[in-house]
Every structure is written in structure tokens, then in C-alpha cells.
């Protein structure tokens, strides 16, 4: 009537993923929610299998320690609990839940990968008399094969997660698909955003290393969320700076990418204001940053040596975005855009800021900021 598989994973927010199946006509028993961070139906078997993700700390929680999975995952024990009608006392809380929906037998078995900690699987039946001896023999016999299949699935999922986390969604998928040779690059057109935390050197001089990391992570989490929600691809964290691209999906229609980039930048400023409100309440120094926006072309792909590659974008237009951001502090603005970028959004009200030479680049660039206080 019900089965579940718990697999450890490598993820910045998730420590374990639970795949849960129960018969459609059978009411599902509850799942502890304290450490739940996400839940979705498996796209391949929708309405039959749910994927539930639990955050870090779940394995140290009382909920886990009171679960049959605890002795299975810590000591490799085989747990079997036959349930009787009218039973009122249960060794584990989950047994009370499944008993309430008609379960007669519960089994939890270890999942052993070639390395790493144990995972676990559970099987529940509502058949008369519970699992038979033949059922138990079959469940025990299939676990090595189940473990082998799940290890392959888990390894691929962890690899995809790590590549996306450290490289970005699109670069991670490209590397996973085989784009791993030095110099394997392509030319892209994109709206380019460069951000940098203002006064960070002075700010960091008064902090210890642990406090500094907490501050950076708080800032990046706040700003990055706004950028990614509008389709931005964060390619680099460079100290206290970020390099982000908004790819032009439809050739010849750069305005859509520029619109997404501008709205993301405005949202990032608003969320930074909200964060600073919290920081002031805590007695912390508020944070400030500069955002530079530009539209152009860049080389996108693998740069480096045969033994150490980096997936990034390079080119003059990337440098332009960086230099425009550098002008924010000098001009007292949080958001500046190039003339090429601003020209793509004629309906946006812009305030000309002036023409300036950008460090290390030939010629002058006319800069604009959004009107109505949005910069």
C-alpha cells in the first residue's frame, strides 16, 4: 500500500530526498514537515510518486531519531514491525500513522552504496497477516539490485546539482552534456549585469572571517534571488562582485533580455533596501552596491588549461559592464546603464548622467540611470 526510498544527496539546501509512493485509493500517512524544503510530483509518474526534499539538520532532529530509518541508516539494521488490529502502543510514531490507514506490516531495510553513508527504503502492506515469508525473502533479495540502480540515479543527480551550483544552470548542463574541452566556446548576445558591493574593504576590516562570510552570503542570497527570478544566469561570484547574463533567446529581439535585466536590477535594489532595514534593526551596518548594465556580445564557454577549466564569459562588452558598475560609486548611483542598453527600452524613462571615459577602454560612453528614483 505504501513504500518510500530515502537517499542522501549533495545539495546546498537539501541533505536527503525522500521518494514516496502509495496506492492512489489509499490515504497517505503524514510526513514530518519541520525540515521539508521542497515537494513535487515525479514528472515520470505524476500522482503516484512524490519527491520530498529535507534540509540540513534533518538527520540531527528528534523526528529522524524517532524514525525506523534511524537504526537502519546508522547501524544498517533491518526493521520489521507487525501491526495488530486495535494496537495502541507503537515503537515509532510513523507506525501509528500507517496503522491508522490500515497497515498491517512495516519493513525498513538499508540501501548500501559503494561508498558513503547508508540510505533506507521502507515497505508497508495492508494485506491480511502482513508480509509473508516469501515476501520478506524477496524484499531482502532485491535490495542489492535496488541499491545499485539508486546509486547510479543518485550520482547523476548529485553531479547535476553540483555542476549547477558551482557553474550555473546552463553551464552545468553544457558540461554534463560533454562541453569539457579547453577553448570550447560560442559567441552569445546578452544583456550583461555586473554588481559590486560598495565599501567592502572598509566594512570587512572591522569583521572577523566568520562574520564576513555571513554578511556576504546574506547579501548574495538577497540580490541573487531577484536576478535569478528574472532569468539571470549568475556565472561568477568574484569576491564581493557578481557577473550575470540575460541571454537573448530570440535573435533580433534584445529588448526582452534588457527588460528582464532592468527589472531584476530594480528588484535587487528593493530587496537590498529590505535587507538593510533588518540590518539596522540588528545594529549592523547597512550594505550598498553598484549595478552596471550593458548589452553586447561575449565568448561563452570553457577558458583555461587542460587540467583546470573555468566556464565563463569574456570580451570587451563584459569589461564595459564592469566599468559601468565602477562608475556607480563615483556618480552616487546604484544603477547605471549604457546607451546601447537604454536604447532597447524606449518606453523606460531614463535620466542621462553624462558621457565618461571608462577605465582601460577607448572612447567615451554615455550613461543613463532609471528615472523616478528606481536607481
CATH 3.30.450.40 location in the chain: 2-167
Q: What's the residue count for the chain?
A: 375
Residue 40: per-residue pLDDT: 55
Cβ atoms of 233 and 320 closer than 8 Å: no
List, for residues 223-261, the tens digit of each pLDDT value.
999 999 999 999 888 888 999 999 897 777 899 999 999
pLDDT confidence of residue 203? 77
**Pairing state between β 185-197 and 289-304:** antiparallel
What's domain 180-370's superfamily in CATH? Nucleotide cyclase, GGDEF domain (3.30.70.1230)
302-344, pLDDT tens digit by residue?
A: 888 878 888 888 899 999 999 999 999 999 999 999 999 999 9
Residue 227 grid cell: 536576478
For the chain, 375 residues long, the average pLDDT of each consecutive 10-residue run is 88 87 65 50 60 86 91 95 92 91 94 92 94 95 94 89 84 82 84 92 80 91 92 89 90 89 95 95 92 92 83 89 94 95 94 91 90 67
Fold of the domain built from segment(s) 2-167 = Beta-Lactamase (3.30.450)
Closest CA to 243 of 235, 232, 251, 231: 235
pLDDT of res. 142: 95
What's the confidence (pLDDT) of residue 262?
96
The per-residue pLDDT for 236 is 86
Beta strands in the chain (DSSP E): 2-8, 14-22, 36-41, 49-55, 79-82, 105-111, 119-125, 185-197, 233-238, 241-247, 289-304, 309-314, 335-338, 350-357, 364-370
pLDDT at 256: 93
- Cβ-based neighbour number of residue 73 at 10 Å: 22
pLDDT value of position 272: 96
pTM recorded for the entire structure: 0.76
Strands 364-370 and 350-357: antiparallel
> CA 11, 12, 13, 18: dihedral to nearest 10 degrees?
10
pLDDT of residue 41: 53
Q: How far is CA 308 from CA 214, 243, 311, in A?
A: 29, 20, 10
Dist CA 60 CA 367 (whole Å)? 53
Chain region(s) in the chain for CATH 3.30.70.1230? 180-370
pLDDT of amino acid 30: 53
Helix, strand, or coil (residue 110) = strand
Q: How many CA atoms does the CB half-sphere of 50 hold within 13 Å? A: 17
Amino acid at each position: 500500500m505504501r513504500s518510500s526510498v530515502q537517499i542522501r544527496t549533495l545539495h546546498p539546501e537539501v541533505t536527503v530526498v525522500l521518494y514516496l509512493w502509495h496506492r492512489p485509493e489509499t490515504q497517505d500517512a503524514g510526513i514530518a514537515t519541520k525540515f521539508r524544503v521542497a515537494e513535487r510530483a515525479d514528472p515520470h509518474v505524476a500522482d503516484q510518486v512524490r519527491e520530498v526534499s529535507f534540509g540540513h539538520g534533518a538527520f540531527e532532529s528528534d523526528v529522524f531519531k524517532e524514525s525506523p530509518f534511524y537504526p537502519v541508516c546508522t547501524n544498517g539494521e533491518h526493521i520489521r514491525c507487525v501491526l495488530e488490529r486495535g494496537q495502541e502502543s507503537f515503537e515509532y510514531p510513523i507506525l501509528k500513522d500507517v496503522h491508522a490507514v490500515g497497515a498491517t506490516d512495516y519493513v525498513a531495510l538499508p540501501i548500501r552504496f559503494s561508498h558513503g553513508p547508508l540510505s533506507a527504503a521502507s515497505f508497508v502492506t495492508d494485506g491480511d497477516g502482513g508480509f509473508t515469508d516469501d515476501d520478506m525473502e524477496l524484499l531482502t533479495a532485491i535490495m542489492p539490485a535496488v541499491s545499485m540502480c539508486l546509486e547510479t540515479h543518485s550520482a547523476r543527480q548529485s553531479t547535476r546539482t553540483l555542476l549547477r551550483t558551482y557553474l550555473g544552470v546552463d553551464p552545468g548542463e553544457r558540461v554534463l552534456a560533454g562541453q569539457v574541452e579547453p577553448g570550447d566556446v560560442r559567441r552569445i548576445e546578452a544583456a550583461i549585469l555586473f554588481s559590486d558591493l560598495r565599501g567592502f574593504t572598509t566594512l570587512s576590516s572591522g569583521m572577523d572571517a566568520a562574520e564576513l562570510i555571513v554578511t556576504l552570503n546574506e547579501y548574495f542570497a538577497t540580490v541573487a534571488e531577484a536576478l535569478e527570478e528574472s532569468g539571470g544566469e549568475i556565472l561568477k561570484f568574484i569576491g564581493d562582485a557578481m557577473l550575470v547574463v540575460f541571454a537573448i533567446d530570440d535573435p533580433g529581439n534584445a529588448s526582452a533580455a534588457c527588460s528582464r535585466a532592468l527589472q531584476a536590477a530594480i528588484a535587487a535594489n528593493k530587496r537590498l533596501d529590505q535587507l538593510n532595514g533588518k540590518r539596522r534593526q540588528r545594529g549592523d551596518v547597512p550594505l550598498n552596491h553598484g549595478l552596471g548594465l550593458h548589452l553586447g556580445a561575449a565568448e561563452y564557454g570553457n577558458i583555461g588549461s587542460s587540467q583546470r577549466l573555468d566556464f565563463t564569459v569574456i570580451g570587451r562588452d563584459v569589461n564595459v559592464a564592469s566599468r559601468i558598475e565602477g562608475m556607480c560609486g563615483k556618480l552616487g548611483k546604484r544603477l547605471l546603464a549604457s546607451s546601447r542598453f537604454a536604447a532597447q527600452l524606449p518606453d523606460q524613462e531614463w535620466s542621462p548622467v553624462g558621457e565618461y571615459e571608462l577605465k582601460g577602454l577607448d572612447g567615451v560612453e554615455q550613461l543613463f540611470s532609471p528615472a523616478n528614483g528606481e536607481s
